[in-house]
Structure 1
């Protein structure tokens, strides 16, 4: 936890308060906070501050804001990823948020088991977003959208996101064109499921404006591919 995220209601008085058990346990056990220490705090969907700890007890840590700090900028990217296995979903969301993705879209595809959409992890996505923001020192959550029908999404939604100034790249291990790097403009990235998109899906994506690009001759796990692609595309950011 590199920043403590607070609900705006926790900052309405002169002294701000941390009351979440998870946050207090982390700060007292792992950070060993003391009265007088400074602490980085963010207001959810708002600004970020350096604060001073005024008091500590088992149920509340009180803070005094000292000065405003800069919130890390997002990467101008929409990440579209085939719905992963439930256990991967948590890591994927956390990592994408930490890396600064502006928008995340979870999409169904042929090789996505329909049971994945019933996972209780989907109801916990906001928790994973919070953990990712705290890791990155960010306060602004990315937009997250879910689409359970591949063809209507590609034809009706995705095609409208693609412009000359905002291209879309689908990572495909058998494409001849390499993934670009160090972009200076927004883009959309499409990542398939563990088994990859089927040929029909790749063809439909290309037909509707996506560029099929290769990440090399190694087949990567979904969460590995996302980190690699973001690092490559925005290496100069």
Structure 2
């Protein structure tokens, strides 16, 4: 945790913050090994970043005296990530990784090779998704939560939502065997589509290309989803 991420409910009179949840308290004690008088980096969800002095720390509560929180969070990446729903364990790691990298719009999509049982995973509850997004923000010293949308049908997504997402964005379909290498240094708004383990099926690839996406690849190696997404974002932006 490189940032103590506060909610508005944690703050009193803009001068004092109280942290009471066990996870953050445990991290302060066991990882930061914080003691009263320490100055730590704090940020407010959806707001700015600054410093705070730890006043008290016990098993039930930590209190901070807040200095002005006047530092903007890191700029977001200009990308909307459309990701075929991964296995639950991989989903958790991927959400944390892409949030730390600055992705602010994420769509989780059903495709032919996505197991239907994945959609029943506890990892897809709003509470679990929020938890992993917060971990990513804390890692990167960011405060702006991504927006996560669930799309349980491939055809309705391609025919109904994709055209609007492509307006004003460059659509990039990352899939093995595509004709073009992944570009570098992209600055324009981008829609990045990444398939599941095993990739999109040919029919899905055809529909996405017909919709206006460009096919790109990362070379001959077949990567795990979490590795491929990280490599794509790093190379693109």
State the TM-score bracket (shorter-chain normalisation).
Answer: over 0.9
Q: CA deviation at 1:7?
A: 1.3
Asked if the contact 1:109–1:149 (Cα under 8 Å) also holds between the matched residues in 2, the reply is yes
Q: CA deviation at 1:155?
A: 1.7
State the partner residue of 1:158.
Answer: 162
State the partner residue of 1:59.
Answer: 60
Aligned equivalent of 1:71, options 60, 73, 76: 73
Q: CA deviation at 1:75?
A: 0.3
Q: Distance in 1 between matches of 2:163 and 2:175?
A: 18
Asked if the contact 1:133–1:140 (Cα under 8 Å) also holds between the matched residues in 2, the reply is yes
Question: Does residue 1:105 correspond to 2:96, yes or no?
Answer: no
Q: CA deviation at 1:76?
A: 1.0
Cα RMSD, aligned residues only: 1.1
- Which aligned pairs between 1:1-237 and structure 2 lie closer than 5 A? 1-13=1-13, 14-67=15-68, 68-123=70-125, 124-163=128-167, 165-234=168-237
Q: Deviations over 1:33-89 (max 9, x none)?
A: 111110111111222221111222221111111132231111010000101111111
TM-score, scaled to structure 2: 0.95
Question: Secondary structure of the equivalent of 2:100?
Answer: helix
Asked if the contact 2:77–2:104 (Cα under 8 Å) also holds between the matched residues in 1, the reply is yes
- The structure 1 segments of at least 4 consecutive aligned residues displaced by more than 3 Å after TM superposition are none
Q: Distance in 1 between matches of 2:63 and 2:71?
A: 19
Q: CA deviation at 1:20?
A: 1.2
Q: CA deviation at 1:133?
A: 0.7
Question: Secondary structure of the equivalent of 2:80?
Answer: strand
Asked if the contact 1:5–1:43 (Cα under 8 Å) also holds between the matched residues in 2, the reply is yes
Q: Distance in 2 between matches of 1:86 and 1:71?
A: 29
Q: Deviations over 1:102-121 (max 9, x none)?
A: 20000000001111000011
Question: Secondary structure of the equivalent of 1:226?
Answer: helix
Q: Distance in 2 between matches of 1:181 and 1:157?
A: 27
Q: CA deviation at 1:166?
A: 1.5
TM-score, scaled to structure 1: 0.95
List gaps (5 residues or longer) in structure 2.
Answer: none
Question: Secondary structure of the equivalent of 1:193?
Answer: coil
